[in-house]
Structure 1
């Protein structure tokens, strides 16, 4: 049953049409299109607003965002059908066009991807949104990259990943702008395409089998069978965390195939007990690439170890249920609770649940499995992606060394004859 939370904008004396707070403390804000206009075909129907309603400094920003979205919706409804908005040639204007233009790739991304990009765009807009595109050059991009990677605190690590994400999004924006024939975007696209920025070091971390074997009994002893089961499935099947435990995505109205709705979100994409066939083969269409992952659980001893502890009458609905809430894990709760068990099992803090996939793929490589077979098992569309997950294995290099030694022995035998 859906739990509804409402905190009308009038409580804060805001002129914010369409504002829909969600969560017990209105920690999530959305703008929602009017139901009749959305039904007529208007999009977007729901837009996440990354502001804090409890912060008076954000109130004007909330009002401006809602009023702009409301005006665009009403203009569409009156027959304008999204006439081309005014473009003043600033980074801010390009950012807003990138987020709202029907031809923008931004609108094709999944909701959580858009959320992540919106947070980066907010940083870009705040830092240099007022800059004119006409005045920008390579020195500006280089300076922005250098500023973005500075440590948060003196002596801390450089935030190279942060800087890289900002530059990547700037590339996407000017590429879109060039395609839309917006002034100066073609020139800036040419500049950025020729520039190179140092990326962060590739991760060498992985969750290894001995980690998993220590984690499972610790989780069971702590009464967190769900964490033991989820981790075993991730490691044995090479699936991403999201494909195992699912996720909660924004949901407004219309038909849906899973009757799990909470605070305006619905649970999707996770494993169900019906995904396990009577022959113990599990099939799953992955969320990222759409590739189908198939695994024979009879060959997954760590999974079988935990599966035996699940009573038959509880094998309905989602596989992984949070024992504290009685429903699938909320955002970030799985990783947070997993870390508590991992510490008790002696797993280093730098090794995270997300590294289970790298550990599984690395183990397969160490076992001399062909790369194309590992690629298929992991649901990757490219072998190059699979290779990025292989971390610190010695199996193939040892095999090569053994072959070389055999070759030397044969050559020596031939010379002695």
Structure 2
């Protein structure tokens, strides 16, 4: 099954408990008996179709009697990656972090999967990261670097390797995004979403801004998380349990956004009546943003940080901001929240109010 209507062998779609559509490659009984297993496919339908076709080619090779590809040698980088992906340290990561690690380590495996992990040098590591930067940019290079460094650090701690070729490489942290949504931007975006027949997009923007959560948490947020006053959920990336009081503006958008009869999430694709997958959501968001005339530099992921910055401008303390975002590291929070003159203005107002209250109290005591 594809968008063109062509059916692809062994490609099946299933809905999970929250109504989201998932794709799988489901082999026949004959293939299962030969050692093939059901495989979870990633991405949207087009991505899943390409992955299913790749598995079908392997199945065809089996029927033709072609020698199957050998499993990665245990001493190779591919073998080390496989070992890490099966370890508790990896399984304890949040769903999004596991997906990211798998993706970045897959890039390393594609580059040097057959290389013995003990002989992979710093020069080889630098060469790989240089090529990643040339093709994908500095941000992708940094993510690949930090993930590969973690892989080798994990192996080093267990005595599997004695040297980490990624340790202390000169890979600068990419510049933090400094753009923020203002309330007027948010209002224009929401108006455009409603005009386009996508009130779900307006609600998603409100959730990201006022709950200060990531895209994945917004898209997977169940209506059962709302007890009428507080939203209770677990962050998908960190696994942290969150309890956040619902802002009146967000409550207004929840109340006026139609509920789906077929999905349990807040944010539902009006075209399907089902939760969005991230690819479709981002396409629709970009379309509405363009129609609204909002600069493309303002991305959905910036709404979370913008909400945190707005809370800081409003006089929120670091502890109050952290209670919303889930950050436990104050240094990370300081990087995350964009400081501006409103912060210093609030500081001066608080000092003045405190001085006035102190003077008043001293007068009363005299």
For this structure pair, what is the TM-score category when the shorter chain's length is used for normalisation? 0.7 to 0.9
Give TM-score, length-normalised by structure 1: 0.66
Q: Distance in 2 between the 1:234 and 1:57 partners?
A: 40
Q: Deviations over 1:105-152 (max 9, x none)?
A: 223334443333222222212212233344343333233322221145
1:178 maps to: 156
Match of 1:207 among 162, 181, 189: 181
Q: Distance in 1 between the 2:218 and 2:36 partners?
A: 38
Q: Distance in 2 between the 1:54 and 1:167 partners?
A: 31
Contact 2:24 2:41 in 1 (8 A): yes
Residues 57 and 123 (structure 1), Cα distance of their counterparts in 2 relative to 1, 3 Å cut: farther
Give the drift of 1:214. 0.5
Give the drift of 1:200. 1.3
Within the alignment, does 1:376 sit opposite 2:323 as a pair? Answer: yes
1:17 maps to: 36
Contact 2:312 2:343 in 1 (8 A): yes
Give the drift of 1:305. 4.2
Structure 1, gaps ≥5 residues long = 30-50, 70-84, 153-158, 247-269, 406-417
Aligned residue for 1:282, secondary structure, equals strand
Match of 1:91 among 77, 88, 106: 77
Q: Distance in 2 between the 1:335 and 1:167 partners?
A: 26
- Report how many aligned residue pairs link the two structures: 327
Give TM-score, length-normalised by structure 2: 0.74
2:240 maps to: 290
2:300 maps to: 353
Residues 143 and 292 (structure 1), Cα distance of their counterparts in 2 relative to 1, 3 Å cut: same
Within the alignment, does 1:333 sit opposite 2:280 as a pair? Answer: yes
Within-5 A mapping of 1:11-410: 17-20=36-39, 27-28=47-48, 52-55=51-54, 59=58, 87-88=74-75, 90-100=76-86, 103-151=87-135, 159-182=137-160, 185-186=161-162, 188-189=163-164, 192-246=166-220, 270-273=221-224, 275-277=226-228, 280-287=229-236, 288-297=238-247, 300-301=248-249, 303-310=250-257, 317-398=264-345
Aligned residue for 1:54, secondary structure, equals helix
Residues 55 and 235 (structure 1), Cα distance of their counterparts in 2 relative to 1, 3 Å cut: same
Structure 2, gaps ≥5 residues long = 1-12, 16-21, 353-366
Q: Distance in 2 between the 1:62 and 1:209 partners?
A: 57
Contact 1:26 1:53 in 2 (8 A): no
Aligned residue for 1:362, secondary structure, equals helix
Residues 391 and 143 (structure 1), Cα distance of their counterparts in 2 relative to 1, 3 Å cut: same
Q: Deviations over 1:200-252 (max 9, x none)?
A: 11111222211111011111122111111221122122232322320xxxxxx
Residues 126 and 237 (structure 1), Cα distance of their counterparts in 2 relative to 1, 3 Å cut: closer
Residues 403 and 133 (structure 1), Cα distance of their counterparts in 2 relative to 1, 3 Å cut: same
